[in-house]
Chain A
Amino acid sequence: MSIRDIIIEEFIAVAAQQDVTLPPLNDDFELMNAGLDSLFFAILVSRLEDATGNDPFATATAAEFPRTFGELVAFYERVDA
């Protein structure tokens, strides 16, 4: 499964768990502008760490943090490479 597929799967799982509606997961989807709260992302990042074995958020600087869905995918692809 590609990193992108894993991330899509985990987004859907956390959305179901937290009972929120997701916008379409396009590359230009802005992560912070969809009404998703910090808990949503906290859970997402932990689940992605389990699924990919990586937690790029733990080591990245704030400036490197992804702002869009496309950047998020690239963020994980980079550490996976």
Chain B
Amino acid sequence: MPEAGTLASLIARSARSEGVVSTRDYVLPLDEVARGSPFGEQRSAFAGHSVVLSVRDMAKAAAALIDLDGTARRILLCPPGWEAAKLAPAAELIGADALAFDEEDPQTALAVEVRHPVRLPLRAGAAASPTLETEWVLPTSGTIGPPKLAVHTLRTLMGAIAPAPLQQWATFYDIRRYGGLQILLRALAGRGSLRLSGVDEEIESFLARCGASGVTHVSGTPTHWRMALFSGAASRIDPEYVRLSGEIADDALLARLAAAYPRAQIEHAYASTEAGVAFEVGDGRAGFPSAWLGGEGPIALKIVEGSLRVRTPRRALRLLGADAPALVDEDDFLDTGDLIETRDGRCHFIGRRGGIINVGGAKVHPEEVEAVLNALGPVRASRVFARSNPITGAIVVAEIVLNDPVARHETLAREILAAAQQRLAPHMAPAQIRFVAELPMTAAGKLRRDR
């Protein structure tokens, strides 16, 4: 048995009899996982294999993960909607020789001999005894180019999860992403349930289900939360704990969440697929105290050339691929590529290295401009990006979703521009504003920055 145990043993230790992982369409009762399998009689067929897990519904995915952990050599967690062009090279990288698939989406292009559908409800089947420390392979959330795969184990994934009293979780994330997987594990370790959105479910319907089932702990990206706040359905839930991760949490959003959920503890976590969960900030302010830099504990932070580096036992073990870059430097620090600006004893995230906009030689971090725009009253959410320009190389363009979609656009555009110009250097203020109905998001729930 691996030192950290398996997911099934974690559940056996901690789950209460009424705990479930549920989506709109499926329910996985946690007290049944010891007796049943989503693969039924084929349960032991995956033992020792490198398995591509490709299903649409997240309750099915959770059932398969629980079943395979400790017996499969590797599990590739395919995000939903991964087309064959992405799946095939990733499958090759993990040396896939087995497929756990969805009957609604059978992935026939993948040529492996061992292939079984994931089905709910669970059916009886003889369990293979756990003998392996299974490698959990997660695609990083970068959206451009071939997938980059990070290798974790249950031990690295559980590093940030402390024993906790009963927690009823919900997350806007997909559990095939690091941020969502953390919440699955927290729910399983916290003796509670996890509510997940169904395939293509609207945010309002999801929040209504969460409210009806009495969730206490809710997680999502800042973009998820902005959309929730302004969907009009945020009041459907009354959480004790609100968690943000995956993107920069700005002061305006933290204040809006505190106002919406006065009894909730609000935390923003710094985490990535590669680095794992590095730290959590719970003082209601954006960024983190600069006093956290340095330190010789198990988690150490430092800034090199403006970018945050993290040394942590929760990081991925390695990246997969023949030409995959080394994950850490010679001192075991991982370069996150997240840029930090320190002011008044506080480290602020100002964007990603490489995501910057260059306006006539002056650099603009889109996230910084978005934070200013998002703090303005009429603005629900914004996305700032470069428009190439023959004069200055680029200009700053903002797409804005208004709180009041029928507001008079011309007047508002002038007011928003004027307010932005007051708060930002001239080259940073949006040169153009477009009002849009919604902002493009990646499958990982972050703002799209690649178009």
Contact = CB atoms under 8 A, between A and B. Distances in A.
Contacts of A45: 389-391
A77 B281 CA distance: 57
Interface string A8-49: 000000001111000000000000000000110111011100
A38 B427 CA distance: 10
B389 A46 contact: yes
A57 interface: yes
Given A38-B391, A38-B392, A55-B390, A43 B427 contact: no
A44 to B, nearest CB: 8
Interface string B384-400: 00010111100100000
Interface in B409-451: 414, 417, 421, 426-427, 431-432
Contacts of A42: 359-360, 389, 391-392, 395, 431
B395 A38 contact: no
Contact of B359 (A18, A39, A47): A39
B390 A39 contact: no
Contact of A39 (B360, B387, B417, B432): B360
Given A43-B395, A43-B431, A57 B360 contact: no
Contacts of B387: 46
A46 B434 CA distance: 13
Contacts of A58: 390
Nearest to B391: A42
A38 B196 CA distance: 50
A77 B389 CA distance: 20
Interface string B350-366: 00000000011000000
Nearest to A17: B417
Nearest to A40: B391
Contacts of A46: 387, 389, 395, 431-432
A45 B392 CA distance: 10
B391 to A, nearest CB: 4
B432 A41 contact: no
Contacts of B421: 19
Contacts of A38: 360, 391-392
A47 B391 CA distance: 12
A38 B426 CA distance: 11
Given A46-B431, A46-B432, A47-B432, A41 B417 contact: no
Interface in B287-324: none
Contacts of A43: 395, 431-432
A57 B391 contact: yes
A4 B360 CA distance: 27
Nearest to A41: B391
Interface string A42-69: 1101110000000101100000000000
Nearest to A55: B390
Contacts of A39: 359-360, 392, 395, 426-427, 431
Contacts of A47: 432
A32 B112 CA distance: 67
Most buried by A among B387, B390, B417: B390
A41 B431 CA distance: 11
Contacts of B414: 16-17
A17, A42, A55, most chain B CB atoms within 10 A: A42
A17 B359 CA distance: 17
A38 B392 CA distance: 7
Contacts of B360: 38-39, 42
Contacts of B417: 17
Nearest to A60: B390
A38 B360 CA distance: 8
A43 B431 CA distance: 6
Greatest chain A CB density within 10 A among B359, B426, B431 is at B431
Contacts of A19: 421
Given A39-B392, A43-B431, 19 more contacts: A16-B414, A17-B414, A19-B421, A38-B360, A38-B392, A39-B360, A39-B395, A39-B426, A39-B431, A42-B359, A42-B360, A42-B391, A43-B395, A45-B389, A45-B390, A46-B387, A47-B432, A55-B390, A58-B390
Interface of B: 359-360, 387, 389-392, 395, 414, 417, 421, 426-427, 431-432
Closest 9 CB pairs of A and B: A42-B391, A57-B390, A42-B392, A43-B431, A42-B389, A41-B391, A58-B390, A42-B395, A38-B360
14 contacts: A17-B417, A19-B421, A39-B360, A39-B392, A39-B426, A39-B427, A41-B391, A42-B391, A42-B392, A42-B395, A45-B390, A45-B391, A46-B395, A46-B431
